[in-house]
Amino acid sequence: MIVISGLSKDYSGKKVVDCLNLGVAQGELFGFLGPNGAGKTTTIRILTTLTKPSSGHVLINGIDVAKNPEGVKSEFGVVQQHLSLNRDLTIAENLKLHARLHHLAPDDRAKRIAELLDYVELTDHADYLVDDVSGGMKRRAMIARALIHRPKLLFLDEPTVGLDAQTRRRVWDLIRKMNLRQNNSLSDHSLHRRGRGIMQ
């Protein structure tokens, strides 16, 4: 899903990322760890097309991030560290806005939003303004929003920062549940494809 080869980034002659090589498999839950100043944020910015690399190559699902930034954006969703929901809208309205930005058809839009609200357990809070829900609910709403266009890859930048221990566990449980669900879907698809091969 992610292939990074010889990735480097310089700022004013200072090397922030130095010849990084990394691969992340489809269905893998991968933690990108390191001390402050190690280049984590810069690497993620390159992966999400916000920053251009000085050298090296990055492929996401086979698409070159530098050569086709517009094409690769449909492959991933992003949950940023800071709150990035529109505070003047309800949770459901935030999801509707992003569904429209991703050009989901109206019928699919309503179904997808209802599915995601149920998935992150926010159906009962769908019509609440963002500022009227807890920090944990905001995080779950951001995850739902990032999944609106059915991305194959999800980037989460410190998704539990600032949350209490109980809420933090709940968010991580949701992330593990998403990963398990995706892997089960991949397994079912693989079995179905192998079955068709045997039938032929």
Based on the domain organization, do 162 and 86 belong to the same domain? yes
Based on the domain organization, do 138 and 60 belong to the same domain? no
Final residue of a structural domain among 9, 41, 67: 67
Total number of domains in the chain: 2
> pLDDT at position 199, please?
28
Based on the domain organization, do 136 and 107 belong to the same domain? yes
> pLDDT at position 174, please?
84
Final residue of a structural domain among 67, 92, 116: 67
Domain of 40, in residue numbers: 1-67
> pLDDT at position 187, please?
57
Based on the domain organization, do 104 and 160 belong to the same domain? yes
Based on the domain organization, do 96 and 161 belong to the same domain? yes
Selection from 119, 78, 125, 69 nearest residue 98 by Cα? 78
> pLDDT at position 13, please?
87
Based on the domain organization, do 125 and 50 belong to the same domain? no
Selection from 11, 12, 13, 14 nearest residue 45 by Cα? 11
88 contacts: CB under 8 Å, gap ≥ 6 = 129
CATH code of the domain containing 85? 3.40.50.300
Final residue of a structural domain among 67, 98, 120: 67
> pLDDT at position 190, please?
47
Residue 36 lies in a domain: yes
Blockwise average pLDDT, block size 10, the chain, 200 residues: 96 93 92 88 93 96 95 92 92 96 92 94 96 94 94 88 85 84 62 36
